[in-house]
Chains A and B, each alone.
Chain A
């Protein structure tokens, strides 16, 4: 029932990876991941392996456990089963929503500084991340509550990148953005992946972006329903099973 990775890699993946990343070391191994909250099973027996340098999209209907899965992978909520990261792997996280108080007297630059100091990173780290993401002094000096959605998302990505993680986990990074900004954010992520050879794990609601950028996809509806390269596993039947009758609506939903 539970899908596993075979040794199948799509053509897409071969093209995108920098040559030095071509050894396919497993960076994350998940076995029988199960989460029960208040007697309700949120995740059940989720199992998959992920190679270094992958771009994994996690898709599934609302309430299918995507965010919970991400939080388990980060180790910030209790679960049963095994989540095993290759040793020494650092992770950067961009949550779905940050309910930051818009009134906070705090600029993005100050926020990034705070992380640097807590983690004892040198401030040079900060400069390289700012350049990488394209954070202008204008954005850095803005209070957190005054940024546009795209600027805020960029800032969160910069926050996650501080400390040079090998893996980036993003939870619907473009939910609240218009289509143009959404594409820019995906392009930024794609550029980062190419430049730094990062592994991406992205919860996504947008199948267009999944087809364009992901080389692995995990269909999640409490259980893992499919796992593999999108072109192979995202068959009409698979989407039907995942989303039910209305998947067409879902597919064309973005940008509305």
Chain B
């Protein structure tokens, strides 16, 4: 294995790990659907960057942050409005991105690849991964209390709006890290599927996050192996492995189906 490839593997597994954790919070907040679509908003940024010849991930980071701010603002609005706006904005941005992105790059932008990172990319992504881990560790209890009851959280002095913003940014940056491998269409899937698997297996907080992270890392490892072996796109392979785990978790669920 070349050093470059090792770098790519480290980044992919790191991204998968935080994807599983962040996805856990997204599932608990019931924002899986919006979360899944967030990755689409990266595409116009990617396309614009490819056209203007600067690092596509910078472009993606920019539009993803805009998307995170949009979701953060919308969470204070009524649910129905928010869902409609999320649907419109994200499919519109997918369409816009599809128009902007050069034909030759479109498949990779949509479905991801295992292209080795430059040294600079590696350092930046590793630092971002580390920052997200620290942020999660720092705010996890606040996130949990806030999603249990924002009123109780406020009563013990937690700032709901700040916590929501912190989570939105962490979420967007996690999507960015996953995006590199899975592409704008499928990045969200890795964040949505592993916690759904974990939820079938446990009703306790820490096992939930642990299982989610393991399923996520396992899906990327398994998917990468399969993609290399059959020479297919990485993103679809990873998402198929994760979906397989989801089906298994339904067949062999430990938690009884709730009565309501």
Contact = CB atoms under 8 A, between A and B. Distances in A.
A135 B2 CA distance: 57
B144 A143 contact: no
Contact of B152 (A95, A104, A110): A95
Nearest to B195: A105
Given A103-B258, A105-B205, A106-B205, A119 B28 contact: no
Contacts of B260: 102
Contact of B149 (A99, A103, A117): A99
A79 to B, nearest CB: 15
A152 to B, nearest CB: 12
Given A105-B202, A107-B203, A76 B155 contact: yes
Contacts of A114: 140-141, 144-145
B31 to A, nearest CB: 12
Given A111-B144, A118-B158, A100 B202 contact: no
Interface in A157-192: 159, 163
Given A76-B154, A101-B30, A106 B142 contact: no
A144 interface: yes
Interface string A58-86: 00000000000001001010000000000
Interface size range of chain B in the complex:
20 to 34
Interface in B125-160: 140-142, 144-145, 147-149, 151-152, 154-156, 158
B208 interface: yes
Given A110-B206, A118-B158, A103 B152 contact: no
Interface centre among A99, A102, A106 (most CB of B within 10 A): A106
A113 B199 CA distance: 21
Interface of B: 28, 30, 140-142, 144-145, 147-149, 151-152, 154-156, 158, 198-199, 202-206, 208, 258, 260
7 contacts: A74-B154, A76-B154, A100-B148, A104-B28, A114-B145, A118-B158, A119-B156
